Chain A
Amino acid sequence: MHLKYESFIREPLVDGEKSYSDVTADICRPIEQKPTKLWYFGFFVALAFLGFGAFSVFWEVYWGLGTWGINHTMGWGWDITNFVWWVGIGHAGTLISAILLLFRQHWRTGVNRAAEAMTIFAVMCAGQFPIFHMGRVWDAMYVLPLPNTRGPLWPNFNSALLWDVFAISTYFTVSLLFWYSGLIPDFATIRDRAKTKLRKRLYGLASFGWTGTAKNWQRFESLSLVLAGLSTPLVLSVHTIVSFDFATSVIPGWHATIFPPYFVAGAIFSGFAMVNTLLILVRKLYRLEEYITMGHIEAMNKVIVLTGSIVGIAYLTELFMAWYSQVIYEQEAFKWRVMGPYWWSYWAMMTCNVVSPQFFWFKKLRRNIVFSFILSIVVNIGMWFERFVIIATTLYRDYIPSNWTYYSPTWPELGFYLGTFGLFFTCFFLFSKYFPVIAIAEIKFVLKTTGDKAHKDNLALEEKSLEEFIEIANHAH
């Protein structure tokens, strides 16, 4: 018997009485098999989207920002909407891998690898938008404090937009390191099983020569723990800083102290929805239902209903504060947000983000695959509208009525957005084929305490008297 005793009321995290080698075989199977027709189809569709996106970006760079629908009043449009949307999605991965590690939530082991991959790809997509929004993209390096021949003239370190550069690049780097340091032992597993020469060479290169000595594992655990400790405030800081892009301005509708917590909750909300969308597909396509169980999906649905409600309260607080502030500009901004020409986007946001997650109060719906899948997509549509509402319905009517405008995107803006979907799914398809989509070593680590077999053993233990229980526990390791 293992020292850790887990109540039989808790669901097992791994179904089907798996042994260690079953775990390895199940998770390595997609890597060692030829890809299915469905995989090729999805991959080439994603590549087509990526190609169209690349063409749209080329068009914008070649002809200039005039090809976009943005204008003097509406400077940010779809571009920054999509940026904030993708960054928000990126938050779930690090939340699952870092914060849930610190909270000792063992269910994270089933989903953390795919969620971290999603984070990295989402941040890659997000990064494109501010860069190409600069127009003269070849001058993009001037956002970095590089020595130059103009003084040197440095960037303005007081600007929230520059904080963003540091926040996003740090976030991407740290997430990548965290993800890869966890992948090294799993690559070694694939390398040691490899039957073909090419696979042995490639995974040999990727596994950095890992062999899994006791000292290496000790350092591995220390590294994961410290990286988790560093990533936890980092996750919160990144979306806080993204919200500063808005909140440190003096625009009615943006200049609010509620923005940082409200953005962080929204980011976790949309990120978990995206994780759910992807994992429901992955578990089905790769037959990993025993590792990504209904319990995992239910846990994520619980986070969705919590963060969705926080976001809902934030929307209502904004309205209340606009009224309570007695500032006419604030009141007008929110009146037009709710009832102006963009009323449909506000109400789409309200329906998708606040009303729809409330269904997850019901256990039956939380554990319904089809419903969870549909709702996860609805939530992401809602979160896109949230960013659109914040940007478009604040900027389109500024202080001077002669500047008032209405904004619609043009095809290169739409193509750019679709292109990032292409980039995201191209990366995700490659990841799901060539990388272990579940952390093999980490699953084995929790298998003895939270697996199906451990639960059945514990059930037998429940029958025993207290004296017998103590006797068994004393003889355990």
Chain B
Amino acid sequence: MAVKKFAIACYDDEAPLFDAVHKVRHSGYKLHDVYTPFPVHGLDTAMGLKETDLHIAGFIFGITGTSTALGFMSWIFTSDWPINYGGKPFFSLPAMIPITFELTVMFAAVGMVLTYCYLNQIMPGVKKHVFHPRQSDDLFVVVIEVTEGTDEAELMNFLNETKPVETDVQIAEEGWWYGRFDQEENYSKQFAS
């Protein structure tokens, strides 16, 4: 987490966005991130992101649920408190299937959503810098980090050639902070001093 300087370019359609991402990757500028109002298919591969492993977490939580349910019920029925229900076997697997299934789904869903929130670093009260208020409306925002070695004027020229509808330079908190949006002003003041 650190306050850094960013150059942003906004596009109003997918086509110039893909061109811009392509050019930025070949130019050697440090692509911070791309913000879009909805999932744009193919953008992750265009940016060189790997496929997410979230579904593997879901599977692991799922089998945890399965074994919890089966283990708990068999332990109760065979050792902790066996009860004779009309002469039926103590370990009656078919009768355990519904609860086993439900707990599998429950564990997988809850675990996956928590993992999702952790990976995305989202939580009630968490705030992140919004580069453009319309990035959740109709603009696709490409954000490039202005490092010490970056020639800012050259970068802005480069961005303007990609036909953006808007460009800007912002000082922003890179990660998240807990609290309110107006707290961010203090961060940028610290950066300036």
- B120 contacts partner chain A, Cβ-Cβ < 8 Å: yes
Which B residue's beta carbon lies closest to that of A151? Answer: B81
Complex Cα gap A357–B180 (Å):
53
Which residues of the other chain, A, contact B60 by a CB distance below 8 angstroms? none
Which A residue's beta carbon lies closest to that of B65? Answer: A170
Complex Cα gap A167–B99 (Å):
7
- B158 contacts partner chain A, Cβ-Cβ < 8 Å: no
Contact with A along B116-145 (1 / 0, CB 8 A): 110111111111111001111110000000
Which residues of the other chain, A, contact B103 by a CB distance below 8 angstroms? 166, 170
Contact with A along B94-124 (1 / 0, CB 8 A): 0110110111011011101100110111111
- A284 contacts partner chain B, Cβ-Cβ < 8 Å: no
Which residues of the other chain, A, contact B106 by a CB distance below 8 angstroms? 166, 169-170, 173-174
Q: Which of A154, A158, A185 has the most CB of B within 10 A?
A: A158
Which residues of the other chain, A, contact B36 by a CB distance below 8 angstroms? 212, 214, 217
Q: In the complex, what's the smallest C-beta–C-beta distance from B104 to chain A, in angstroms?
A: 8
Which secondary structure dominates chain B's binding surface?
A: helix
Q: Of B37-45, B147-155, B184-192, which binds chain A? A: B37-45
- Contact: B136 with A217, CB < 8 Å? no
Q: In the complex, what's the smallest C-beta–C-beta distance from A194 to chain B, in angstroms?
A: 9
Q: In the complex, what's the smallest C-beta–C-beta distance from B140 to chain A, in angstroms?
A: 10
- Contact: B134 with A214, CB < 8 Å? no
Among candidates B88, B92, B112, B119, residue contacting A227 with C-beta atoms closer than 8 Å: B112
- Contact: B138 with A20, CB < 8 Å? yes
Which A residue's beta carbon lies closest to that of B96? Answer: A157
CB within 8 Å of B: which A124-174 residues:
145, 151-154, 156-158, 162-163, 166-167, 169-170, 173-174
On whether A230 and B180 interact (CB within 8 A), knowing A20-B37, A208-B124, A211-B35, the answer reads no
Q: In the complex, what's the smallest C-beta–C-beta distance from A220 to chain B, in angstroms?
A: 6
Among candidates A166, A211, A226, A442, residue contacting B98 with C-beta atoms closer than 8 Å: A166
Contact with B along A98-134 (1 / 0, CB 8 A): 0000000000000000000000000000000000000
- Contact: A213 with B33, CB < 8 Å? yes
Which B residue's beta carbon lies closest to that of A188? Answer: B136
- A200 contacts partner chain B, Cβ-Cβ < 8 Å: yes
Q: In the complex, what's the smallest C-beta–C-beta distance from A177 to chain B, in angstroms?
A: 5
- Contact: A24 with B126, CB < 8 Å? no
- B80 contacts partner chain A, Cβ-Cβ < 8 Å: yes
Which A residue's beta carbon lies closest to that of B135? Answer: A212
Complex Cα gap A241–B106 (Å):
16
- Contact: B38 with A441, CB < 8 Å? yes
CB within 8 Å of B: which A194-238 residues:
200-201, 204-206, 208-223, 225-227, 230-231, 233-234, 237
Which residues of the other chain, B, contact A158 by a CB distance below 8 angstroms? 85, 88, 92, 95
Which A residue's beta carbon lies closest to that of B74? Answer: A157
Complex Cα gap A222–B56 (Å):
10
Among candidates A154, A231, A233, residue contacting B76 with C-beta atoms closer than 8 Å: A154
Count, chain A residues at interface, CB 8 A: 68
Q: In the complex, what's the smallest C-beta–C-beta distance from B159 to chain A, in angstroms?
A: 18
Q: Of B1-9, B47-55, B160-168, which binds chain A? A: B47-55
On whether A157 and B73 interact (CB within 8 A), knowing A19-B138, A163-B99, the answer reads yes
Complex Cα gap A282–B85 (Å):
51
Which residues of the other chain, B, contact A21 by a CB distance below 8 angstroms? 134, 137-138
- Contact: B110 with A185, CB < 8 Å? no
- Contact: B47 with A212, CB < 8 Å? no
Q: In the complex, what's the smallest C-beta–C-beta distance from A229 to chain B, in angstroms?
A: 9
- Contact: B119 with A157, CB < 8 Å? no
On whether A156 and B43 interact (CB within 8 A), knowing A208-B123, A213-B33, A219-B54, the answer reads no
On whether A208 and B105 interact (CB within 8 A), knowing A192-B133, A222-B52, A441-B37, the answer reads no
Which residues of the other chain, A, contact B105 by a CB distance below 8 angstroms? 170, 174, 230-231, 233-234
Q: In the complex, what's the smallest C-beta–C-beta distance from B54 to chain A, in angstroms?
A: 5
Complex Cα gap A213–B129 (Å):
12
Complex Cα gap A444–B77 (Å):
52
Among candidates B15, B49, B72, B129, residue contacting A214 with C-beta atoms closer than 8 Å: B49
- A317 contacts partner chain B, Cβ-Cβ < 8 Å: no
Complex Cα gap A208–B119 (Å):
13
On whether A212 and B35 interact (CB within 8 A), knowing A157-B99, A184-B122, the answer reads yes
Complex Cα gap A185–B37 (Å):
8
Complex Cα gap A146–B110 (Å):
20
- Contact: A208 with B52, CB < 8 Å? no
Complex Cα gap A237–B123 (Å):
31
On whether A192 and B44 interact (CB within 8 A), knowing A218-B52, A237-B102, the answer reads no
- B18 contacts partner chain A, Cβ-Cβ < 8 Å: yes
Which residues of the other chain, B, contact A445 by a CB distance below 8 angstroms? 38-39
Complex Cα gap A212–B44 (Å):
12
- B34 contacts partner chain A, Cβ-Cβ < 8 Å: yes
Among candidates A156, A166, A178, A217, residue contacting B40 with C-beta atoms closer than 8 Å: A217
Which residues of the other chain, B, contact A151 by a CB distance below 8 angstroms? 81
New contact pairs (20) apart from A157-B73, A192-B133, A234-B102, CB-CB < 8 Å:
A20-B138, A153-B81, A154-B80, A166-B98, A166-B106, A177-B109, A177-B110, A210-B122, A214-B40, A214-B47, A217-B36, A218-B52, A219-B119, A220-B116, A222-B55, A226-B54, A227-B112, A230-B105, A233-B101, A445-B38
What are some 23 contacts across the A-B interface (CB < 8 A)? A19-B138, A145-B76, A163-B98, A163-B99, A163-B102, A170-B103, A191-B136, A192-B135, A193-B137, A213-B34, A213-B35, A214-B40, A214-B44, A215-B49, A216-B122, A217-B38, A217-B44, A218-B52, A219-B119, A220-B116, A223-B112, A230-B108, A477-B15
A-B pairs with lowest CB-CB distance, top 3: A20-B138, A209-B126, A208-B122
